[in-house]
Amino acid sequence: MGHEMWSADLYEKNARFVSDLGGDVLAWLNPRAGERILDLGCGDGALTAEIVAAGSVVVGIDSSTDMVAAALKRGVDARIGDAMSLSFDAEFDAVFTNAALHWAPRAEAVAAGVVRALRPGGRFVAEFGGFGNVAAIRTALTAVLASDYGIETDLKDVWYFPTPDEYAAVCARAGLSVERIELIPRPTPIGSDMTQWLETLAAPALAMLPSESQVAAREKAARLLAPALRDESGQWTADYSRLRLSATLAGTPT
């Protein structure tokens, strides 16, 4: 995950569903005992710990010191690092990542680092926000930023949500062979209020505003979103869409 503004406590309160939903991509990874696996954007290590439990030797990296501290507490070998500037060299049987790469808009730099980190025949298994992800939420935020604060932004430097074709091309250019890539609409009950979701997961977008304006901006965006995303019982469902892929680096595993 991407930002110093990440708080492991806020994540636990407002975004635990993100790692809880990582089971499908973990099944695609199919970690095996003794494999060396790099987890990009390991967050607080909840999913990383499941890879460790499979018997793999896992290194997690995350750019948030708070998240790395939380992952270390779980016993995960977690280190501060940025997915866009990886420095591993032919060290891993697999690179895994869940719900992190939408924070890394320089996709070519990520893919180049993944390729460098993998051993010949190594695999890259990833899930993150795909095209159309949180479309309503993004539209509400861009509308509030533009109409109330005069900030024109498409938020493309905050969130990266590529189509399968676009991302398959990124992988191919880096030298990865994509075996499976899917765009999966996944409306997701968020288990909290939309203003709390925005506080945790739209923090970098809201950081374009002075802190004294952020509460009002969150409340306005939530009001705009309620007719689309809040049901009659008050439950919010975010309009998530996941890009999930599995790719390999040419060569024979050693």
Residues in the site for ligand BEZ, rule: CB under 6 A?
18, 99, 102, 129, 133-134, 159, 201, 240
Residue 179 and residue 125 in contact, taking contact as beta carbons nearer than 8 Å = no
Whole-number minimum distance, CB 134 to ligand BEZ, in Å? 5
Q: Which is nearer to ligand BEZ, 56 or 241 (CB)?
A: 241
Q: How far is CA 139 from CA 20, 31, 100, in A?
A: 26, 38, 21
Q: Which is nearer to ligand BEZ, 1 or 171 (CB)?
A: 1
Token output for 51: 């890879």
Find the angle CA(219)-CA(189)-CA(241) to the nearest 5 degrees: 95
Q: Which is nearer to ligand BEZ, 241 or 248 (CB)?
A: 241
Whole-number minimum distance, CB 212 to ligand BEZ, in Å? 23
> Rounded distance, CA 85 to CA 208, Å?
24
Closest CA to 195 of 187, 203, 183: 203
Q: How far is CA 149 from CA 144, 159, 195, 225, in A?
A: 7, 20, 18, 18
Find the angle CA(245)-CA(26)-CA(12) to the nearest 5 degrees: 110
Find the angle CA(119)-CA(121)-CA(126) to the nearest 5 degrees: 85
Question: Strands 118-129, 237-249: parallel, antiparallel or unpaired by DSSP?
Answer: antiparallel
Whole-number minimum distance, CB 251 to ligand BEZ, in Å? 32
Whole-number minimum distance, CB 90 to ligand BEZ, in Å? 30
Q: Which is nearer to ligand BEZ, 37 or 243 (CB)?
A: 243
Whole-number minimum distance, CB 156 to ligand BEZ, in Å? 12
Q: Which is nearer to ligand BEZ, 31 or 129 (CB)?
A: 129
The sign of the CA dihedral 227, 229, 231, 236 is negative
Whole-number minimum distance, CB 133 to ligand BEZ, in Å? 5
Q: Which is nearer to ligand BEZ, 241 or 246 (CB)?
A: 241
